[in-house]
Chain A
Amino acid sequence: MKFLIAEDEISLQQSIVTYLEKDGNVCECASNYEEAIYKVSLYDYDVIILDINLVTGSGLEVLKQLKKEKKKAGVIIISANNSLSDKLEGLDLGADDYITKPFHLAELNSRLKAVLRRGKFGGDESIVFNEIRIDTRAKSAYIIDMPMTLTRKEYDLLLFFVTNKNRVLSKEIIAEHLWGDNSDLADNFDFIYVHINNLRKKLTPEGAKYIKTAYGSGYKFTEE
């Protein structure tokens, strides 16, 4: 997959690149408005990660340009501004998703995958990971073609694991993905453990082996 990361903060830009390249994706960068406009009109990307506040111009203008040229790239807007009007304006202009700084790279990655699924096939598709198949349209999952009865949270958890495979996910990141802002209310993240245990049981030994503990308190979904 080929991505464009239009972000004027080089540190953040490089961190995103490092994270996304782990899956073997190709990442190109644009550090200002002109570079973004230039690359968008010249090349085709699967997804563009677009900061609204590019140092020399607005990311929304890049988005307008993109839509004018009828490019098919998916767009995820990054903004420091958590305002609804910005969000609505971005989505109205044809952005696929909107994420507010600061965000977890795992969260960005999972949204990126969702945008890709929708963009590529005009709708949601199935994600296959060895014995596990997730039907994102029906929001259901199968283990060796046997349907699993997952709760909403267990389904989200499985999808989050699969889209961020081979990466260490701390309990905090998982909690924040599943429960949003409410997760920081909890004194401890033992409740994550309960949910992961339930998921492991439902995945049967064939699927459960992929959920591995990392560093004692984190998790990693991996084949190794």
Chain B
Amino acid sequence: MVISTFALFFYVRWLLKQEVEEELFSAEARIESALNAGKHPSSLAPIIEVLEVDQPEASFTKDTVIYDPSQNEMELFRELSTYKNINNKFYKISVRVLVVETNQILWAIIISYIVIVLVVFIFQFYLNKSYNKKLWSPFVHNLEQMKTFSLLSTNPIQLLDSEILEFSELNKEIALLTGKVRDDYENLKQYTEDVSHELQTPLAIIQAKIENIINDQSVTEVQFNQLTSIQKDIQRLTQLNKRLTLLTKLENQQFTYRENIEITALIDQIIANFSEIFSIALSFQKTNNILASMDPYLAEILCNNIISNAIKHSGNNGPITIAAKDMILSVSNFGLKPIANPQHLFTRFYRETKEVKSTGLGLAIVKKICDLYGYHISYKHVQDHHCFSIDFDTTRVSNK
């Protein structure tokens, strides 16, 4: 660009010089012929000067700077001076032409270059932009599709085809990959479902047989205690199974039925039930009623799990405080240390300690139910208490 600017500059300068000199010579020739014809052309300084001289000298061309009063500045002129013998008189003919200044040439070139570059750039910019937009539109569309991709929806991912080889290859791979992910997920789900289903019958057989053994007269007290201990383990396995099945069903979104549930009334009922089993004090501060539109079965599991979780982890240090206020249900229980990994709190089979016997699925189910209905659940540790809050107001959650 810079080199071409200078090349152009020198070329233009050379061209101009040639042109100016041609003009000078032709003007000089015209003056000479006028002199030959006997006319005496009037001098027009500084453009044309005709002087009679005594001695001829060699002709020359030169650059000269002459003050131009009209523009009030020094101007560069090209001058041709020749000495001619006309009618035995020697004349010095000087012809001068105003020359375009070099820096002006240079500026002209630079400015025109800048203008050209700018115009080209702007044009290219918009052209490229519209072209790229067209070119990338399938890619952008597919990217959006991938962002909204969910394993839960049964529709296959909708990808736009593109003429570009790389993009269509990418599409192929994405379709393949999502298909595989979905298949794996389906298999895993089916596996969980099948396993829990197939376990039910053997469990039922073991349980029935144990009951018959117990009712046989020939059991000793030690054997009885061992058998009831086995029953307890079966019970645990059954619970685990039930919860896994429930989680699968929640993931499959098989709960579509809804009715208005008064959560606070449900809590009252659960507290009454729990206080028959546990000696721990359960206090319920009901500021306002909480109404939620959900499956009654899930509502019961939700409240049951969140309260039983608090009872289990309180270490018999009461009381469990349950509060209902402004659509927020909070349950808090005593616990000196905050949860070490709160990010795993709702992960299935995550247990903070091994001391408390649990299936490790209770809170995972709570979280899944909350997710299903768009309720916000949060955990915090305040004043030596673990506190879980469920916000039943879905409009408030979406504003967050």
Contacts and interface: CB of A to CB of B under 8 A. Distances in A.
Interface centre among B197, B208, B242 (most CB of A within 10 A): B208
A80 B200 contact: yes
A172 B214 CA distance: 13
A15 B215 contact: no
A102 B207 contact: yes
Interface string A46-87: 000000000000000000000000000000000011111000
Given A103-B204, A216-B221, A81 B197 contact: yes
Given A167-B215, A181-B239, A181-B242, A218 B209 contact: no
Given A102-B206, A184-B239, A215-B219, A172 B277 contact: no
Contacts of A148: none
A9 B245 CA distance: 22
B231 to A, nearest CB: 5
B7 to A, nearest CB: 87
Given A168-B214, A184-B236, A218 B207 contact: no
How many interface residues does chain A have, given as a range? 35 or more
Contacts of A82: 242, 245
Contact of A102 (B200, B215, B232): B200
A28 B130 CA distance: 82
A100 B200 contact: yes
Contact of A170 (B197, B231, B249): B231
Contact of A101 (B203, B232, B279): B203
B212 interface: yes
B276 A179 contact: yes
Interface string B42-74: 000000000000000000000000000000000
A203 interface: no
Contacts of A214: 224
B311 interface: yes
A218 B214 contact: yes
A138 interface: no
A130 interface: no
Contact of B201 (A9, A19, A106, A181): A9
B40 interface: no
B205 A12 contact: yes
A173 B197 CA distance: 22
A102 B277 contact: no
B150 interface: no
Nearest to B214: A168
A216 B226 CA distance: 12
B104 interface: no
Nearest to B228: A170
B277 to A, nearest CB: 5
Contact of A22 (B209, B215, B239): B215
A217 B254 CA distance: 42
A172 B211 contact: no
A172 B198 CA distance: 24
Interface in B276-297: 276-279, 297
A31 interface: no
A35 interface: no
A103 B201 CA distance: 10
Interface in A150-177: 153, 167-168, 170-173, 175-176
Given A173-B231, A218-B224, A101 B204 contact: yes
A19 B211 CA distance: 8
A186 B278 contact: yes
A104 B236 contact: no
A153 B219 CA distance: 30
Contact of A171 (B228, B249, B273, B304): B228
A215 B277 contact: no
A29 B274 CA distance: 40
B312 A191 contact: no
A16 B208 CA distance: 7
Interface in B235-250: 235-236, 238-239, 242, 245, 249
13 contacts: A11-B209, A83-B254, A101-B200, A102-B208, A103-B204, A105-B207, A182-B274, A184-B235, A214-B224, A215-B220, A217-B228, A218-B224, A218-B228
Interface of A: 9, 11-12, 15-16, 18-19, 22, 80-84, 100-106, 153, 167-168, 170-173, 175-176, 179, 181-186, 191, 195, 214-218
Shortest Cβ-Cβ A-B pairs, 10 listed: A15-B208, A215-B224, A102-B204, A80-B200, A102-B203, A101-B204, A101-B200, A170-B228, A105-B211, A215-B221
